[in-house]
Amino acid sequence: MILDLLKGVQSGTPQTIAGVPVKVSARAKRMALRQDSRTGQIVLTLPQRKTWTAKAEAAAKGFVEANRAWIARHSAPARAVAKPLAPGDRLSLLGRDYILAHQAGRGVSRLEGERIIVTGQADHFPRRLRDLLKREAEKILSQRTHDKAAQLGLPPRAVRLRDPATRWGSCGPDGRIMYSWRLILTPDFVLDYVVAHEVAHRVHMDHSRAFWRLCLSLTARGAEARAWLKQHGSSVMKL
């Protein structure tokens, strides 16, 4: 899990500062301490920079030391790693329940009736299941994004899937949209709201009243979806 946290560390940046794992983010504007939703661990997020200097490291160390009390209050014990999903388990995709099944040998993993059939070697089951979920998520999110963009008369832009620790989606200034593949594990109205949110950012790169009017005009159950994410989102992120 520590290795996952350190994927965003750029070359030359310490992996930890004053005992706190470091993550470099191109989106960050300033240093910040955050609790990783999956591990409970406190992570120091740093803005991306061309070079890492002794002065920058001293500033980061000072920031951590000045916030020791906050770190102590918000640190959580290491959380147990979630048990991988296995054949016979149930999994909900867009609000519909499926039973996981394994099929040995070659073949295409697929959704079939009320089952999610994962092919291949048994010890590859978790990875191949995740690959299937990502493929399904990419198809649905790409189509839904283009449909909503078309409602606004906007040209298509690239849609990418990632596995961020806390974010469900983002829209860059160039109109490129990123989603968490885990949205396929939420009810359909939740996925629909997140797509509406990011498509609306192609018009309003803020959270103004105009943005929220546009966002909620593109989805039917926006308020309910936001409440669902607040209550259940962290559990989905840990799967």
Residue 81: the pLDDT is 52
CA 100/CA 116 separation, integer angstroms: 5
User: Where do the H-state alpha helices sit in 6-75?
Assistant: 54-66, 68-74
Q: What is the pTM of this model?
A: 0.71
Residue 77 has pLDDT above 70, yes or no: no
For residue 129, what pLDDT band results from cuts at 50, 70 and 90? very high
For residue 127, what pLDDT band results from cuts at 50, 70 and 90? very high
Residue 8: the pLDDT is 39
Q: Taking residues 6-25, report their average pLDDT.
A: 71
Residue 15 has pLDDT above 90, yes or no: no
CA 199/CA 170 separation, integer angstroms: 9
The DSSP symbol for 133 reads: H
Mean pLDDT of the chain: 88
Asked if 114 and 98 touch (Cβ cutoff 8 Å), the reply is yes
Residue 1: the pLDDT is 37
Give 26 or 184, the one with higher predicted confidence. Answer: 184
CA 5/CA 24 separation, integer angstroms: 10
Q: Taking residues 172-177, report their average pLDDT.
A: 93
Reported as a single tens digit per residue, the pLDDT across 139-160 is 999 999 999 999 999 998 899 9
Tokens encoding 197: 């949110």
Which residue pairs from 19-28 have beta carbons closer than 8 angstroms and sit at least 24 positions apart in sequence? 19/64, 20/44, 20/64, 20/71, 22/46, 22/60, 24/48, 27/170
Helix (H) or strand (E) holding 191: helix 188-200
Reported as a single tens digit per residue, the pLDDT across 32-71 is 988 776 666 788 988 887 777 888 888 999 999 999 888 8
CA 130/CA 182 separation, integer angstroms: 10
Q: Taking residues 158-177, report their average pLDDT.
A: 92
- The full set of domains in the chain, from first to last, is 2-74 (no CATH), 132-237 (3.30.2010.10)
